[in-house]
Copies of this chain bind each other. A is one copy, B any other.
Amino acid sequence: MQVQQPSMADRTPIGGAAPGWRAPTATAQVPPRRAPAQEGSLDLLEQFGTRKVVRRGHEFYAAGDPARFCYRIVSGCVRTVGLDEDGRRQIAEFLLPGDLFGFDSLDVHHLSAEALTDTVVVCYPRCAVDALAEQHGGLARRLRDLIRRNLRRAHEKMFLLGRKSAGERVAAFLLEMAERTAPGGAGATCVALPMTRADMADHLGLTIETVSRTMAQLCRDGAIASGKAGTIVIRDREALESFGANTRH
């Protein structure tokens, strides 16, 4: 396991005036996105946020680290990773601009969080989060609901991993990424996939080869097309939605 602790020196107070964290760097292919309404209203926290940049491949925290900070992604992409002693890896989620992470750990992180691309985050001290939540029932409620939503997504992923075929998993993943980057998009949607095939495989409980083959199949079927530099285009959403359902009969 890599244990590169990125320098803390680039953390700067956000204190006063205009939010300076509005995506100055354009490193990531993933465009900055407004936080969705249900997660956006943790405004009370903003005054405690500090900006931080983590370079591609580096960790925000490792499994086992004390949970001292929570994060909101401004730009870039992050994965949360579980590793076991044999080197087997499970990626719990990919996080995109607007997403929050680190809020659902107990005192100690049980997964590590790693930057897939150069990533800009706002970073909230855990003690500030807890203190604010102690005083403001509304914030506590929103935090609770945030973790609840994560739990619901985890349950959906358990279903995916336990009960769906390789084709269904890949198709569902692509649709999920599409929905997250362009909510409600209907026609041909361009989806950025900033992660490697290995990342997708470790997220979907498959191997690199199976992911690759499945996507090739989807291309042949005309459901998707491969765009430039880690993007795909969804051409036929319905084909994607029903893909692999026939595999398990």
Contact = CB atoms under 8 A, between A and B. Distances in A.
A88 B105 CA distance: 31
Contacts of A145: 106
* Range for the number of chain A residues in contact with chain B: 35 or more
Contacts of A162: 90, 161, 202, 204-205
B141 A134 contact: yes
Interface in A93-109: 104-106
Contact of A140 (B84, B140, B161): B140
A140 to B, nearest CB: 4
A245 B88 CA distance: 12
A185 to B, nearest CB: 23
A193 interface: no
A158 interface: yes
B106 A161 contact: no
Interface stretch (A148-156, A215-223, A225-233): A148-156
Given A92-B155, A135-B137, A158-B158, A163 B205 contact: yes
B89 A148 contact: no
A86 B137 CA distance: 41
A177 interface: no
Contacts of A84: 159, 163
The interface residues of chain A, by DSSP majority, are classed as helix
A134 B136 CA distance: 8
Given A104-B148, A150-B151, A151-B147, A90 B140 contact: no
A35 interface: no
Given A163-B89, A163-B205, A140 B151 contact: no
A150 to B, nearest CB: 6
Interface of A: 82, 84, 86, 88-90, 92, 104-106, 110-111, 130, 133-135, 137-138, 140-141, 143-145, 147-152, 154-159, 161-164, 202, 204-205, 245
Given A130-B141, A162-B204, 13 more contacts: A82-B155, A90-B158, A90-B159, A92-B158, A105-B152, A106-B148, A106-B152, A137-B137, A140-B140, A154-B154, A154-B155, A157-B158, A162-B205
5 A-B pairs with the lowest CB-CB distances in the bound complex, closest first: A162-B205, A134-B137, A161-B161, A154-B154, A140-B140
